[in-house]
Chains A and B, each alone.
Chain A
């Protein structure tokens, strides 16, 4: 120990022990969900073995301290707010306002119909059009979306994975018709399909065929669009789905390696595409570990990429976008979310992100309103322009704690990557559902910690303020109106276009899917001819088929955490009372309706309710109300529990109830959980919903209420 003598350290320990009144210091170690043991004090000794970290400089291999030599001292991070809702017209209006007010990059959120490759007039998307993002059916919509936004100057990020071909093609053709050539386009397409199968659920085709699309896009853009990021390898959604920070990092980097392999085997040279790979991480509330995570990410990526022998050092450098964590935000006392988001933003910046999205305080209620998105944007402007954080590069370097945490994150992450590699790589691990299960297990543990109050969330499980009455105005989208407008536009285009030409290009696309041609190139042809997003997707689906997910559920994780909890065992008692009375366990169908792919809540309810004693049927993703009602009746469930996140509830839940009634299920109880804005509660109740459980409801409470309703009724 160079700085502090043993004697001095012992003196501190003694003093600490006294202050703790005899309790061991060991009680003050913090075991994080990553299974990293954080100590109460770090000293210089903790740095002694970290020569590689100590000798690192920004812009230079291994990029621990940042991908650029000057970082924010030259140019602050890009303020890139993810947004999109309703029609292209409305979203365009919104984008232009944001840019006027200090936003520096665009990031498009598409609606779930578009994500899943359906046009707005498709019967399976009735509740989804324009609701959770902007509805795009044709290149004409794309042109409206970017109207008066110069695409040669504005970098545009698009979160699109499933329907990536027609959407990216639409962007390229829209630019072309705006007079901007492909090679001048800058921005990012997410194009990260592996994490869709794991956590985000807007896939369309099976994994193998989807990987072909990814390679085709990398190949096309690396040849024709030198400023464009061909993929954004995303861990964000993993953390939001429940992954620990090391799981997020490990599975993301392992995904990255998988894409590199795919591109190499498609015949590309490493330096042709690797510099244009970009990343996307989540920044949650574990402040220092988030900083450490970004530093570790760059370090590990440089290490991993070495195996491909790149000549260009940019191939080793990890550039990333970050978004603050939505799942850390609450519907209770929502103004607290402004504070949470600000801390998270600071962590992302101290970690050295290249661009950032900050969430709005109404995150757990609806899409951002005008007010909430203004505050979210200003959070970054204030951080960037008022606090001085941009003046020093990697300011936490050398911190005993942050450096040793960085090292621990690196080690943990590497061992998780190794586990996946041993299974045969990420495509395999994903296809077998291995990583998904791991993440769901972490989510269940987290839920148990929060429900037990071990992890504090102010306003939710501590300092609860139940009689708040803050009026918050929320954004509302009238999907019926959006559908009407989209259908009008669709039929106009279908009338005016050259249908012969469309048919030929669609046929070429099918041939290409069956054989070799570059699918992005072929999609651009089809989109130019005014084929719709749905038509292009369907043509490829004809050849590739639509992926059907196999989902496996975990059991026991939630229940194990409650083995000695009184409330828990009382709930179990009631469940057993019901079971004795009825001759079987209470049976609940936990269902998702429409294209809403948020399955974290549904999965966690399923596993926890089963632990508590319910027989739980897990409905498939993307069901129609009729399909769900059929399953409910055939399985003779007592309750259908709809988990609704993407705002389809007002359309789809009443449809479900109607269908249940029609088929003799009028006695089936319907409850709804998830994002239900306060203004919708009465409507749902009037349509026949028995109970509604918002974000943050402890599962025991909802289970209790459900069993009470059942006991009462019978």
Chain B
């Protein structure tokens, strides 16, 4: 891997951040500072940073794969942060080490963004055994998927055994995330009326557990009604796994009720799949997809960063616009030309 970097560049980076060997050792020893810096490197828009981060990643790869990877999504204000805090505190009692990776798609614009106010888990974040990292989604293509996956692997190597990946259930980041995690929670809350409508069907299809949060106080009855609606609705959906029927559960993150049921179901999920080794197969599928995505992204980048090709594109674009050639034929020519170089 490092041969993608010129020796000189590698030296500079190793001088600034530490050697690849040292970095990977420190991550594996659980050093938080190193973990967080390596996540930064993998999120960087600088290619040398990315390659460097991948070199570290390559080293720590054998130490990955040992966590429960849990995706959490749901509309704004449903209680995701509160839920992770409550569940997290519950898991701390079970001696888990927890990492929370939060992707904020509202920041998907160039320039700055406000992070972390949406992922506030005050009590949880105080624990030594918890690592919380909010990240801007950024503008790069496939950013969410790749960055979060790399961060997740780094956290695994650092010894976190339960990893939550939080996204807001409004955009496309969910399907990207579903390619990273093992089990997907969809959080929904009562109130507001047409609950089923607000959430895209595609996201519901991704869910392994549908959790109706805020089942407390005056909302309790509503929560149970919605749970019933969803229970019948999910029967019509295609489940993600043949042997797992999407479960619908209620809880109150605020009052800490229903959390154990959710964790029991989660354990049941993992037991089942570990027994049938499906998790491993599933993760293999994810890696296949990952490989193919990366191929496309790689090509994409290389094509568009070649000045020669950009010239060609301009040349053919003009022809296309005056009707001299079909776009598809033009594309064929351009790609051929690129491959010949």
Chain A residues within CB distance 8 Å of chain B:
548, 550-553, 555, 572, 575-576, 579, 582-585, 606-607, 609-620, 627, 630-631, 633-636, 663-665
B201 surroundings in chain A (CB, below 8 A): none
**A620 and B131: CB pair below 8 A?**
no
**B117 and A551: CB pair below 8 A?**
yes
B37 surroundings in chain A (CB, below 8 A): 636
Q: How far is the CA of A309 from the CA of B103 in the complex (A)?
A: 53
Give a binary string over B111-143; 1 marks a CB under 8 Å from any A CB, 0 the rest. 111111110101101100001111010000000
Q: How far is the CA of A575 from the CA of B111 in the complex (A)?
A: 9
**A631 and B112: CB pair below 8 A?**
no
Among B42-50, B169-177, B205-213, B284-292, which stretch is in contact with chain A?
A: B42-50
B107 surroundings in chain A (CB, below 8 A): 615
B257 surroundings in chain A (CB, below 8 A): none
B299 surroundings in chain A (CB, below 8 A): none
Q: A615-B115, A618-B114, A634-B133 are in contact. Are A550 and B33 (CB under 8 A)?
A: no
**A627 and B126: CB pair below 8 A?**
yes
**Partner among B33, B114, B126 whose Cβ is within 8 Å of the Cβ of A607:** B114
Tally B residues with Cβ within 8 Å of A. 34
**Partner among B34, B45, B114, B136 whose Cβ is within 8 Å of the Cβ of A555:** B114
A616 surroundings in chain B (CB, below 8 A): 112-115
The smallest C-beta distance from B290 to any residue of chain A, in angstroms, reads 22
The smallest C-beta distance from A624 to any residue of chain B, in angstroms, reads 8
A617 surroundings in chain B (CB, below 8 A): 115-116, 134
B55 surroundings in chain A (CB, below 8 A): none
**Partner among A575, A610, A635 whose Cβ is within 8 Å of the Cβ of B36:** A635
Residue on A with the closest CB to B36? A636
Q: How far is the CA of A579 from the CA of B45 in the complex (A)?
A: 9
**Partner among A548, A610, A636, A663 whose Cβ is within 8 Å of the Cβ of B112:** A610
**Partner among A552, A609, A610, A635 whose Cβ is within 8 Å of the Cβ of B133:** A635
**Partner among B44, B114, B125 whose Cβ is within 8 Å of the Cβ of A631:** B125
**B45 and A584: CB pair below 8 A?**
yes
Q: A631-B125, A636-B36 are in contact. Are A606 and B114 (CB under 8 A)?
A: yes
Q: A551-B120, A583-B46, A583-B49 are in contact. Are A610 and B114 (CB under 8 A)?
A: yes
The smallest C-beta distance from A82 to any residue of chain B, in angstroms, reads 31
**A612 and B112: CB pair below 8 A?**
yes
Residue on B with the closest CB to A622? B122
**B122 and A548: CB pair below 8 A?**
yes
Q: How far is the CA of A672 from the CA of B117 in the complex (A)?
A: 20
The smallest C-beta distance from A553 to any residue of chain B, in angstroms, reads 5
**A618 and B117: CB pair below 8 A?**
yes
Interface residue? B31 (CB, 8 A): yes
Residue on B with the closest CB to A606? B114
**Partner among A606, A609, A663 whose Cβ is within 8 Å of the Cβ of B32:** A663
**A615 and B113: CB pair below 8 A?**
yes
Give a binary string over B41-78; 1 marks a CB under 8 Å from any A CB, 0 the rest. 10111100100000000000000000000000000000
Interface residue? B39 (CB, 8 A): yes
A576 surroundings in chain B (CB, below 8 A): 111
Residue on A with the closest CB to B46? A583
Residue contacts A-B, CB under 8 angstroms, 8 given: A582-B44, A582-B46, A611-B112, A614-B112, A615-B115, A630-B126, A631-B125, A636-B37
Q: How far is the CA of A289 from the CA of B123 in the complex (A)?
A: 44
The smallest C-beta distance from A556 to any residue of chain B, in angstroms, reads 10
B112 surroundings in chain A (CB, below 8 A): 575, 585, 609-616
Q: A610-B112, A664-B33 are in contact. Are A634 and B117 (CB under 8 A)?
A: no
Q: How far is the CA of A660 from the CA of B64 in the complex (A)?
A: 28
Residue on A with the closest CB to B126? A627
Residue on A with the closest CB to B43? A584
**B114 and A620: CB pair below 8 A?**
no
The 4 closest A-B pairs by CB, nearest first: A583-B44, A583-B46, A664-B33, A617-B116
B45 surroundings in chain A (CB, below 8 A): 579, 583-584
A552 surroundings in chain B (CB, below 8 A): 117-118
Interface residue? B40 (CB, 8 A): yes
B43 surroundings in chain A (CB, below 8 A): 584
A631 surroundings in chain B (CB, below 8 A): 116, 125, 132
Most buried by A among B40, B117, B120, B125: B117
Q: How far is the CA of A636 from the CA of B115 in the complex (A)?
A: 12
B41 surroundings in chain A (CB, below 8 A): 583
A582 surroundings in chain B (CB, below 8 A): 44, 46
A612 surroundings in chain B (CB, below 8 A): 112
The smallest C-beta distance from A548 to any residue of chain B, in angstroms, reads 6
Residue on B with the closest CB to A551? B117
List CB contacts (< 8 Å) of B1-53 with chain A. Answer: 31-34, 36-37, 39-41, 43-46, 49
Q: How far is the CA of A609 from the CA of B44 in the complex (A)?
A: 20
**A634 and B116: CB pair below 8 A?**
no
Residue on A with the closest CB to B37? A636
**B46 and A633: CB pair below 8 A?**
no
**A585 and B114: CB pair below 8 A?**
no
List CB contacts (< 8 Å) of B205-234 with chain A. Answer: none
B36 surroundings in chain A (CB, below 8 A): 633-636
Q: How far is the CA of A585 from the CA of B113 in the complex (A)?
A: 9
**B114 and A663: CB pair below 8 A?**
no
Q: A550-B120, A627-B125 are in contact. Are A635 and B44 (CB under 8 A)?
A: no
**Partner among B33, B117, B123 whose Cβ is within 8 Å of the Cβ of A665:** B33
**B114 and A634: CB pair below 8 A?**
no
The smallest C-beta distance from B219 to any residue of chain A, in angstroms, reads 13
B81 surroundings in chain A (CB, below 8 A): 550
**B115 and A630: CB pair below 8 A?**
no
Residue on A with the closest CB to B107? A615
A614 surroundings in chain B (CB, below 8 A): 112
Most buried by B among A575, A584, A612, A631: A584
Most buried by A among B39, B40, B113, B131: B113
- Beyond A552-B118, A615-B136, A631-B116, 6 additional contacts (C-beta under 8 Å) are A572-B111, A583-B41, A584-B43, A584-B45, A631-B125, A665-B33
Q: A627-B125, A627-B126, A630-B125 are in contact. Are A664 and B111 (CB under 8 A)?
A: no
**B32 and A618: CB pair below 8 A?**
no
**A664 and B117: CB pair below 8 A?**
no
B120 surroundings in chain A (CB, below 8 A): 548, 550-551, 620
Residue on B with the closest CB to A663? B33
The smallest C-beta distance from A642 to any residue of chain B, in angstroms, reads 16
Q: How far is the CA of A634 from the CA of B122 in the complex (A)?
A: 14
Q: A583-B49, A631-B125, A635-B134 are in contact. Are A618 and B116 (CB under 8 A)?
A: yes
Q: How far is the CA of A584 from the CA of B114 in the complex (A)?
A: 14
The smallest C-beta distance from B69 to any residue of chain A, in angstroms, reads 19
**B111 and A613: CB pair below 8 A?**
yes
Most buried by B among A551, A610, A612, A635: A635
The smallest C-beta distance from A591 to any residue of chain B, in angstroms, reads 10
**A636 and B39: CB pair below 8 A?**
yes
Q: How far is the CA of A615 from the CA of B132 in the complex (A)?
A: 16
Q: How far is the CA of A611 from the CA of B112 in the complex (A)?
A: 6
Residue on A with the closest CB to B117? A618
Q: How far is the CA of A297 from the CA of B100 in the complex (A)?
A: 48
